[in-house]
Structure 1
Amino acid sequence: MWVQVALFVASLVISYLLQPKPPQAKPSAFDDIKFPTIDDGTPRMVVFGDVWLTDWCVIGAGNYRTSPIVKKQKGLFGSKRQTVGHRYLMSLHMGLCLLMDEITQIKIGDRVAWQGVSDSANQSHIRIHKPDLFGGDDKEGGIDGTLIIMKGASDQRPLPQLQQMYDSPVPAYRGVVTFFFDGMVCSGSPYPKAWAFRVRRTTCEWYNEKATIWLDDGNGNPIKAMNPAHIIFEAQTNEDWGRGTDIGQLDLDSFKECADILYDEKFGMCIAWKRQDTLKQFIQQILDHIGGALMIDRTTGLWKLVLIRESDKPETLPSFDYGTGMLRIEEDNNSSNELVTNQLVVSYTDPVSNETRTVRTENLASIQRDGIILQNKTYVGLPTSDLAGRVASRDMKIIQSHLKKFKIVLDRRAYALQPTSAFVLKIPQRGIDSMMMRAVRVEHGTLTNGEITVTAVQDVFGLPRTTYSQVQPSLWIQPSLSPEPIVNARLWQLPYPHLLDVFSPEQLALNSDGYALVLAERPNSLQQGFEMWAKTTGEPSEQYVGQGQFVSRGMVQNAVHQTSQITTLTLDTIGVMSIGQCALLNDEIVQIQAINFDNRQISVKRGCMDTVPTAHDENSAIWFYDDVALVAEKAIKVGQTLTVKLLSQTSQGTLDLSKATANSLLIDNRHARPFAPANVQINGLSYPNQIQALNKISWVGRNKISQNTAILDQNAPHQSVETGATVSLIISKKTSANGSYQRVVQKSGITGFSLDIVADNPSNDETKLVVNLDNAVMIKVELWAVKDGLTSWQRHSIEVAVG
């Protein structure tokens, strides 16, 4: 028996010794490990507030290495150490976003690997020691290594560890947030899990003290949200990812006002623009959250930010009825639909957990009557249930209010209305004594009819102030629709730059014909336009030469001095005008630089194109003519007199030719003449009132050919003059206050741009001029240009007291 047992044991030992050894686990090759990579040109995300970034992108990986996982395996003769897997270590270069203040949490595979608040320095280090995050060596390992945060400052240097990984020079990655991690990323299984980062950014170069809005999630967790006004400001001005708008083109007061309101409301947002939508769509998304609008203010030409909130002074709002500017009602979409949403569910994103949550608001009375009529809305930028609930209540109030809508036509008294503007509408003929409205769309149309079409909705904040009454008999009197004679009109010959809108410089060089600009003021708001009938010298009767449009005309309430500086004009009324528009002040062309509608003032550049600055009396007329087709379609020969009659038009007909006033203009070859010099200075001063002695006269050149269609004023830089153009000069003096001017000297053919006034010039220096001004109490300097025998359209005439 013992022999049989011994033979069995020997057989078992031999069998164990002869069996093949179990294979040692081999590590996966680096090429087998897959990462979510990023390509060149991929748009980089922009972070606002407190957000989670879950789109893990690996720019590069390297320094691949493994560490064996060795465990003891039991056998007949004891235990053996055997490699059962490997830990995978490597370097990862990860791209995150454009800008970041700090990182507060890192999740890998939906498990928290690190949390805290990272350093504020541009480059900082985070030690992540979670080797058992995914079960340790028995399962899928964990994370163990150092994360280097690089915020992409303008002076950021290339990271040495990154250069070592690629074994070649690398960029510094300025302007973008990147992370560099080196250490264990997984074990057992060669499949790294996705990384997610909770980051925060509210820093803004503008008004930073109101950029951060601290919120609470209701469980004691702080949320660092960003002021939406600052988000829109960055989207407008950022030159890297935004519109790149110059800050000077923003109405900063409106942005600051909105920032203050949102800060006080604790209306902070947390959102990341992932560049999947256009910038316009992203800005609109922010505006939808806050209930606001972004537009170009017609009165300033600047981008203006407006919040739709309750007016704190409703009694100051403009009011319109049939006697104060309302012409007619085109649409009245006020049919009531009782079956509207009565339960609204708003979804928002919790930045602490990165989960989508919901709040609900409802109208219980409507639900009991009609059943549940559900609507869902998503506001991804709202970070708290409190803020989501406030927005849900706002939207439900709008839905349940059955707001009235109108499309009305107003006259020019509504010039100041813009989208989001609040105003009061009074239509007693329809039982509406007073109703607060909010403009949705404002269409100014053309100058032909002077009408402003406004699409408006009843202001949800103004509902308590709306009053209704029984319909009363209309007291409105239908105005006369008969065409009226045009009282204020003027003919004016077009200068060279305006003719370039139709002709080329080569055509104008061969064409001496003149063209007239017809300026006419609307007799009343019902006159829609006018026909132009004209004849020239020798023609028996007027012929139709085109259709005209009315322009704005004003009377300057202050005397205007002769100057080359920007001048403020106070007008009797502000009509239709815009910044950059040309105007004709008597015979001087000016260009609008600023408009103050409240004070009826405009600031203008002086002596534009081929005109020079002159003094203008109080109550001088100014015509605003730019961008309107006003040219009579008739070429007139030089020396002929053009006579034009203007026939006003209404919906009922055209004025009879016999009732129209004739306007005449002698045509000269204006466009062929050289431009006068500009910015004339006496002793280095522009238009001085008094000097001790005349020492120097200087000016800058003008060139109509190189100027082309540009509108240059007196202070524009010097231009090389046309070939063959020279300057002529006359200096006169008075020897008594009541005396007349006597010519002292005249000089022509001047090619320079200054003259020194001397008592003697023995060397006949062309830059010097001998002038005897003995006993002078006043002097007058006249300066103009000459080319091919033609003088400039206007000449400078400057009078200065001496003594």
Structure 2
Amino acid sequence: MFWFTLIMWAVSFAISTYMANEAAKDMQPKAARLDEFMFPTATEDRPIPWVWGKVRQKGPNVVWYGDYRVNKKKEDGGMFRSDVTVGYRYLLGLQMGLCKGPAVLTKVWYGDKLIWSGRLAGEGDVQINLKPNWRTWFDWFFIIARLQNNIPSMTYDYDNPPSGVLHFYPGTYDQTPDDYLSHFQSPCPAYRGLAYCIFDGFVSESPQVQAFAFEVERIPNGLELADPTIGEDANPMNVAYEIFTDVYGYLPADIDLPNFNTAAATLAAEGNGFSYLKDNTDRASAIIAMIEKQINGHFHLNAQSGKWQIELVRNDYVLDDLATLDDSNVTECKMFSRGTWTGTTNELRLSFINRSNDYMESSALAQDLANMAIQSVKIPTTVEMMGVREPVLATELAWRELRSMSVPLAMARVVTDRSLWFGYIGMPVKYNYNVSAPIAMRITKINVGSADQDSIEIDLCQDLFASGQATFAPPESGWTIPTTTMTEFAERTAMELPQAVVRRNGLTGPLIWTLAANQYDGAENYKITIDGIDDGTAALTGRGTVDGDISAEATTIDIACANIEARQFLTTTGTQIGQDLVNLILVGGELVAPTAVADLGDGTGLRLTGCYRGLCDTAPAVHANGEDVWFVCLGAGINNTTQTPSALISVKLIPTTVDSEVAAGDVTDIALQLARREDRPYPPTLLTLNALTFPVSTDIDSPVAVAFNRRDHRILDEVSQLATDAETLDGTFPAAETTQYRLRLKNLGSVVWTGAYNAGAASLTGPALVKIVRACDGCPTALTFCVTARHTTGGDTLEALQDIEHETTVVSALSNDFYLGTLDTGETSEPWTAPATGDYDFTLDVAIATDLQAKVNGGALQTIISSGNTTGTLTGVTEGDIIEIRHTDSASSDERLLRIDAPGVTTDAYAVLIFTNVYWQTGGFGRGGFGVGRFGR
């Protein structure tokens, strides 16, 4: 019975195997095409990452793949069966961009599997071959199961690790093109400065390519430290130095190298290393802020040396050696806070990337049990430091951060004289104003104002090292609490209300826009009086200052401000801004509206992004650091009574509370001359010079073509016409109100040339070079182009209150040449010392009615250009000779430009000839004029 059963099973197995083989022929798997391969990251516009220290880079960008080949994978069909195709092995080439070089490769992962580790600092190969050449009984079990169930395409290799040669290029600046890539890319770039890998002969059994990951190391050493590493991390000061020089473009001479090196040594001793992968479009300032946060320091420009420095917040000072704030230089204490335990934190969790735990996100915990006992409650907070990769460092930083948050610290805002003009954020000072004992404090904010102001406003925070650690009883603060008295607003202003606001509120102008900032002396709002008559009340307006110079075309603006948060603004669109004027902010005299607002990380200000510039009747303008910013969208005053156009009025903003107010006699008037603001035209936008918008430099040798985008105050949507010409939006423009434009030029702040108004076209032409030279008394180094708008309304011709203007560096063939002067009839030029020996060629742009003459070293006059001609040559000149010229033409009109080309050198000369004097041709060649028979102009 047993043998019979065995024989029957064998026959049955043979028959079923044969039938499976026949069925499998109809189920042969198909190879995937190259376009069916799925790569984790293959993006053309992805930014090149920057690496500092040692990091794990997940998902490097696949910048090329090709050299596609397919090999069939067959299995023995066994008894009565032919071989069966059970899958395919795919071979192809991959190129993966890593980061800015030069870099070092230390590990490679495929998916979650580590497939290589080592250290490859230069160009070289990594051999990867993890495919097994034998099978276990477990593998054969699945092969048999697959065959018996007619599933020939099923793979038994679940990990599917790749094999092949990985060629690494470190990203040096002399690396050569890859030989393998050169077969597929023509021309093949060397990708200098970019660390990348090429997988030559990548083998996979699936078109779904898992993500590669690489551990790369890049240690900058611009400071030339003896040891630029801190453990496996970069020294943060080398990272900062690289950003300042390579990104911001500062020269090494702009950086206080001894200061940077000292800080680098301190951080190395502390073990405070930095590792970070920047693979997004964040601004360099975000990396600098990250470094400042991790090292507990602040970068600043030293006002005395003009060099960049770092101030590390450390206990490295002697209190009596610090700059002092006391009765001798503090004029006002505007605000102080003793600090309370309820404002402190007693548990801090610091998030970081743990290199030793396979680069998983981790956290370090610090707790102040004494603080918990005082408050009888746990007050937690979280801090993120993404430049930290070591658990020991994370723990140290967590305790450092908690120490600064778990102790009540005193704060103050004072006004001083200018003795601390050189102060900077993070600077320690000795505070001895109205306190029983001196306190070490640090500057957290400083507004130095301008040189003509006699005061500085400084915000201060008690230094952590000057305070005791957490105890069961609050420490003595040393403060003597002053009394506060409500006074007139130090920061306030008034102006005519723009027409765009008047019509949106259904009002009739002229009306007055009032702004007053909270000075924390008890005032809750204010009363508006005009010419001594009460005319409304208003809430206080948020105020700040521009944090860093901004250009006229910038769309991101940082604002230094306190007590204003991003959540108070709307995230909005251009349409909402244009129609409803949401998020409206006054920067200097310009109205701006951002589409988004974010809090700066240190809590001292806001970042406005997606800004629409020059809204309503204002123009985009350049704004300097420290310029006033008013958040009018958060509250601004409008008086009740329509005013008389063009009147001179007196406005007072009187601080009030529910039951009290400052006496009107103690409030200074704001004298305001009304100028019919709501009737005036809008200035244009998008100023271009020679077809370039807000160019850095402009060639003036030919008349400059000036163009702009026109706007009309009658168009309701303020944003729509910022980039679209008003005539496109309203066909009755510019004829409806006879809108016209003219060009003016400024040099060194003064108007030097004014053109005529055009007929309303969106373009103007600058003056000829000779007119610019005459107006500026020589070829200028820079010019400001200003376009003014005017229109006629109610029978009156009114100009816009603001111009669109742009200062540009001048490019001219006359730049750096010697200016002989503007020469009227009979006047002698400035003496010019000949820069070379040889013949000097003279050229006039237009001929004159008499001869042009010159003399050398006070000798006889020579005719260089005869009457009616435009060229001539002064011969026989020796280097060092003194050349002077004159003309006697009083019949010609307009100006003439004379150019003198010196032989073989780049320093030439030029002059402007004018023709307003009457000349009697007698007498000799005298300095200041020819002869003695000259009439005055």
Match of 1:401 in 2: 407
Measured against aligned partners, the alpha-carbon deviations of 1:149-197 in whole angstroms (never above 9, x if no partner) come to 123333332212112235x43222222112110224322x332211000
From the superposition, tell whether residues 325 and 59 of structure 1 become closer, same or farther in structure 2 (CA, over 3 Å).
Answer: same
Aligned residue for 1:173, secondary structure, equals coil
Residue in 1 aligned with 2:449? 445
Of 101-110 and 244-253, the range deviating more from structure 2: 244-253
Distance 1:17 1:336, change over 3 A: closer
From the superposition, tell whether residues 412 and 56 of structure 1 become closer, same or farther in structure 2 (CA, over 3 Å).
closer
1:152 matched to 2:171: yes
Counterparts of 1:758-769 in structure 2 under 5 Å? none
Q: Is 1:270 aligned with 2:275?
A: yes
Q: What SS is found at the alignment partner of 2:467?
A: helix
Q: 1:472 to 1:101 in 2, by over 3 A?
A: closer
In 2, are the aligned partners of 1:726 and 1:786 still within 8 Å (CA)?
no
- Partner-residue secondary structure (3-state), 1:338: helix
1:379 aligns with 2:385: yes
1:181 aligns to 2:199 (yes or no)? yes
Aligned pair partner of 2:224 in 190, 207, 230: 207
CA contact (8 A) 2:330 2:433 kept: no
Which whole-Å deviations, capped at 9, do the CAs of 1:529-556 have from their partners, x for residues lacking one? xxxxxxxxxxxxxxxxxxxxxxxxxxxx
1:704 maps to 777
User: What amino acid does structure 1 have at the position aligned with 2:257?
Assistant: L
**Contact kept? 1:437, 1:457, Cα under 8 Å:** yes
Aligned to 1:161: 180
| Structure 2 equivalent of residue 539 of structure 1 | none
1:407 to partner: Cα distance:
0.2
Provide closer, same or farther for how the CA distance between residues 314 and 84 of structure 1 changes in structure 2, counting only shifts above 3 A. Answer: same
Contact 1:153 1:174 in 2 (8 A): yes
- Give per-residue Cα distances to partners, 1:658-714, cap 9 Å, x unaligned: xxxxxxxxxxxxx999xxxxxxxxxxxxxxxxxxxxxxxxxxxx98331366999xx
Give the match for residue 464 of structure 2. 460
Which residue is 2:157 aligned to? 139
Residue of 239, 243, 246 corresponding to 1:231 = 239
- C-alpha distance in 2, partners of 1:203/1:378? 24
Distance 1:351 1:445, change over 3 A: same
CA distance in 1, matches of 2:204, 2:77: 23
Amino acid at match of 1:92: L
Match of 1:305 among 307, 310, 315: 310
Q: 1:203-222, CA deviations, whole angstroms, 9 ceiling, x for partnerless residues?
A: 33332434222x2xxxxxxx
Amino acid at match of 1:225: D
Unaligned runs of 5+ in 1: 216-223, 475-626, 629-650, 655-670, 674-701, 731-748, 771-784, 796-803
Structure 2 counterparts to residues 710-789 of structure 1, below 5 A:
717-722=816-821, 724=823, 726-727=828-829, 755=857
How far apart in 2 are the matches of 1:472 and 1:111?
64
Q: Hey, what does 1:129 align to over in structure 2?
A: 129
Q: CA deviation at 1:416?
A: 2.5
CA distance in 2, matches of 1:729, 1:719: 10
Corresponding position of 2:803: none
1:194 aligned partner: 211
Count of residue pairs brought into register by the alignment:
517
Whole-Å separation in 2 of the counterparts to 1:105 and 1:284: 30
The aligned counterpart of 1:73 is 77
User: For 2:408, what is the secondary structure of its paired residue?
Assistant: coil
User: After superposition, what is the alpha-carbon deviation per residue over 1:553-573, rounded to whole angstroms, capped at 9, x for unaligned?
Assistant: xxxxxxxxxxxxxxxxxxxxx
Look up the equivalent residue of 1:124 and give its one-letter code: G
Tell me how far 1:433 sits from its aligned partner.
1.6
Conserved in 2, the CA contact under 8 Å of 1:432 and 1:468? no
Deviations 1:286-323 (A, max 9, x none): 1111111122222233332222222333321011211x
Name the counterpart of 1:513: none
Question: Which of 314, 339, 342 is residue 338 of structure 1 equivalent to?
Answer: 342
Q: In the TM superposition, what whole-angstrom CA distance separates every residue of 1:131-165 from its partner, at most 9, and x where no partner exists?
A: 24999973133221111112333333221211223
Distance (Å, rounded) in 1 between the aligned partners of 2:32 and 2:751: 84
Deviations 1:728-760 (A, max 9, x none): 689xxxxxxxxxxxxxxxxxx9988984999xx
Opposite residue 239 of structure 2, the aligned amino acid is I
Deviation digits for residues 1-48 of structure 1 (CA, Å, limit 9, x no counterpart):
9xxx99999999888767734134432222221113433332111000
Please give the root-mean-square deviation of Cα atoms over the aligned residues, in Å: 4.6
Is residue 2:55 matched to residue 1:51? yes
Paired amino acid for 1:341: T
Partner AA of 1:348 in structure 2:
F
CA distance 1:63–1:311, change in 2 (3 Å): same
| Aligned counterpart in structure 2 of residue 418 of structure 1, from 408, 424, 431 | 424
Matches within 5 A, 1:14-25: 20-23=22-25, 24-25=28-29
Which of 180, 188, 199 aligns to 1:170? It is 188
Q: Counterpart amino acid of 2:379?
A: I
For normalisation by structure 1, the TM-score amounts to 0.57
- The answer to whether the 8 Å contact 2:44/2:63 transfers is no
Question: Compared with structure 1, are the counterparts of its residues 51 and 728 closer, same or farther at alpha carbon in structure 2 (3 Å cutoff)?
Answer: closer
One-letter amino acid matched to 2:228: A
Are the structure 2 counterparts of residues 652 and 134 from structure 1 closer, same or farther at C-alpha, using a change threshold of 3 Å? farther
- How far is 1:387 from its partner? 0.9
Mapping for residues 449-488 of structure 1, pairs under 5 Å:
449-463=453-467
Q: Distance in 2 between matches of 1:371 and 1:198?
A: 43
Cα distance, 1:720 vs structure 2 = 3.8
Conserved 8 A contact 1:90-1:185: yes
Judged with a 3 Å threshold, the aligned counterparts in structure 2 of structure 1 residues 134 and 728 are, in CA distance, closer, same or farther, namely farther
Q: 1:26 aligns with which of 17, 24, 30?
A: 30
Q: Which amino acid aligns with 2:214?
A: F
Give 1:84's match in structure 2, choosing from 77, 83, 86.
Answer: 86
Q: CA deviation at 1:260?
A: 2.2
Runs of at least 5 residues in structure 2 that lack an aligned partner in the other structure = 140-154, 470-474, 484-625, 628-665, 670-749, 753-774, 784-808, 833-850, 861-873, 884-911, 919-926, 929-937
Relative to 1, partners in 2 of residues 1:707 and 1:8: Cα closer, same or farther, differing over 3 Å?
Answer: closer
